[in-house]
Amino acid sequence: MTTDMRHAIVDVLETADAVAMRMAELFIRTVKEKAEGKARIALSGGSTPKKLFTILARPDMAGQVDWSRVELFYGDERYVAEGHADSNHASARELLLSRVSIPAGQVHPMPTATTAAEDAARYQGTLQKSYGATELEPGRPLFDLVMLGLGTDGHTASLFPGEPVLDEKTAWVGVAAPSTAPHERLTLTYPAIASSALVVFLVTGENKVPMLARLRQGDGSIPSGRIVSEGKILILADRAAAGELS
């Protein structure tokens, strides 16, 4: 079964806080329902997930997660020094990872220490080691949950318009050098994201109205519109992004 964006489930919630809370509940459920082994989860970047991280770090929420059964990865990373203010990992570490009992060896930041191409290959090796194979096997998803954001130019992860990585069919991790956003980046590719049991887009704010409308139509002319999943795709949006503010 492959789900494309035209068949995504859309849940419009009142506020950005409600979106973050619903995502936190889904995160908790994903780990609880993981039958055996660790739940492999890819975190999204940017500012939207910050509310989620803050909610998940709350003792009443973090206490519902068996962190020993969680393995965290990233959907993308800005190619900046470790700890840089624009680093997605630095943000997740500050708001969530430093506040919960996930074993350090189960958090996999994207490396940014050599060259983007070398570090992309290195991260692919990390994913393959966790997955236990070098080829993605249909029916055995790499990720139990992939969280994605939506850019105002229609990008997701760091799959930006016009980037060669959009055409990547085999590598699991690629490089992007967008003209519409700062920094070179590492990103999961379409095949890696497709190897998932559940993809959840988090989309909030009025500035996302045009692209959310195109995403919901499965508009393949924007990178996010081309996302598919072996499992399900859910869009969690607030009313502002859905254009439903009176």
47, 68, 98, 180: which one contacts ligand 6PG (CB under 6 A)? 47
State yes or no: residue 238 binds ligand 6PG (CB under 6 A): no
Sign of the dihedral through C-alpha 197, 192, 123, 204: negative
Nearer to ligand 6PG, 34 or 48 (CB): 48
- Using CB under 6 A, count the residues that bind ligand 6PG: 15
Residue 112 binds to ligand 6PG (criterion: CB under 6 A): no
Query: Stretches 31-39, 59-67, 138-146, 153-161: which one binds ligand 6PG (CB under 6 A)?
Result: 153-161
Give the nearest residue (CB) to ligand 6PG: 149
CB 193 within 8 A of CB 231: no
Q: Which stretch binds ligand 6PG (CB under 6 A): 29-37, 54-62, 154-162, 214-222?
A: 154-162
Phi-psi region of 154 (alpha: psi -120 to 50; beta: other; left: phi over 0): left
Tell how strand 185-188 and strand 76-78 pair up.
Answer: antiparallel
Q: Is 88 in the site for ligand 6PG (CB under 6 A)?
A: yes
Which residue ranges make up the site for ligand 6PG (CB under 6 A)? 44-48, 75-76, 88, 149-151, 155-158
